[in-house]
Structure 1
Amino acid sequence: MAFSLNETTLLSAVKSGSILSIVNSTLAPGYGIYYATVQKDSTSIVGSKVFSPTSWISVEKVADASIVNSPIEQGSYSSYNKVKRPPGVRAVFTLEGLTGFSGAIPNVTNLSLLSRTNLIATLDDMIASANTYDIETPDTVYTGYDLERYDFKVDAKSGVTMLTVEASFQAVLTEAEVTLSSDQQGAITDKNQNGPGTLKKVPGQAASKAVTLDSVKAAWNSGTTSLSSSLSTTATYVENGLQSAVDTVNTAYTKATDSASMQLKDGITTLAKVIT
């Protein structure tokens, strides 16, 4: 429960003469929007209230998930068949100004210094920034939400001094930050040893070692051996290829020579028969 000093309701309760009415008018359900996280260049303070409207009209929580719509094997339905979407909160609240001629003048009769112009500017800053907010209600506190959309209206039904705002907040889903690093003993640790998702040291993993002269010599000898082996293998392949090409040419030449000799022999034999 929050303490409220709305002059209009308080005077109405005093005039009624009922003690219970006075208590109910000064004690109001706890509604509020507070800074949960702020950007580094922000002047806002975590835990402070963003603004205090004149009254809260409604607060609605929206949460849904996407479930697989294709047939699945009986008994195989599990968490990976269901994707949770970020929940949202829709809040409707009002701020009463002092006059309809200017929104920059706050209604000091309600013991408030927040003007309609300042409220709109604050909402614009919330849209532009990457801060998160905690939304307090009498039932629960919705933590880690950011403003994604808002609209406001001023109409004849509520009065030209009454600003009605509808704000839509969406939850910012976060995971534990884990940054891996390895020491010279081959152990993996995370950056935040005390935070959620902390990894224990696991020996035997890949580690970075200091460079020494011996390691450089070993790398150079290994490279020299590899290069020598590669050159030797390449030379062998070239030699074998040339020998194969020579053998192929010799075979083709021998076959061509034999064929020409046979043709010449047959021609001479035929010519001799004709002459005789």
Structure 2
Amino acid sequence: MLWWYFVEEGTLDENIHLENLRNEFLDECNDRIENISKKLENIAENSGKFTNQIITIRRDVHSIKGMGGSFGYPVITAIAHRLEDFLIDRDAMDTHDVKNSYIFLDCIKLQLKRDTQASLGESADIVRSLPSKFILDDIVKSKRIVEALSIMPKSLQQRLINQEIRECGFRISNISSSIMAIDMAVHTRPDLIVISALIDEIDGTELAHIFRSISHTKILPIILVTSFEDIKLSDKALPSGVSIARKGKDFPDDLAKCLIELDVL
């Protein structure tokens, strides 16, 4: 949904109305960023209860993510989503974590000041440059970070699957909405897309076909994660460049075979 969608029919001067909406968005977003910055400062100074601070930060980041999508700033949504991933499941933050959090905020502020939107290529580069909560030693040594977009419902199984993918050398961005995943894939250009066979209204096979129909995602390698209980799949049901990894004890082996088959690493 774009920010101009909110303009009511019959507005006498739509340009003025649109500009007012944009200014409201900018003010609200900057206020949220300032609030997050204050909470990060408190964390750095050990002032106040960490749990309360991090809850407020996550709430403001989530609001920025939603506003970015609603007001036509998809790159801000992508940056905020990465910041959510960076902050998830934290029970503490050291000075390095706080410093890295400010990098996300600086990137968002830079996008707010731009007169024109970042191109798709720029968006992907911006997102790839952001700090990660998990960086394996071998990735740091090789200076090559490969991105994976994980699209599956939030669950313990999702965490276990993502951990296996992460151990293969990927930096993961998690998303549980198929609709949001389409926009995220277009603007971040991941090296790999991992889809659960069952997501929401759009199942994994349908989503794979959608990705293959979009010019910016049609060549991206895709792994469909499923089990025999989820759905009966045949090779004919899947578009080209899509491999299947079965859930369960054999998933690590299936994942390795898929990565070799797709020539991702």
- Give the TM bin, normalised by the shorter chain: under 0.3
Which structure has greater strand proportion? 1
Q: Over alpha carbons, which structure has the higher Rg? A: 1
The two structures have a TM-score, normalised by structure 2, of: 0.22
TM-score scaled to structure 1, two decimals?
0.22
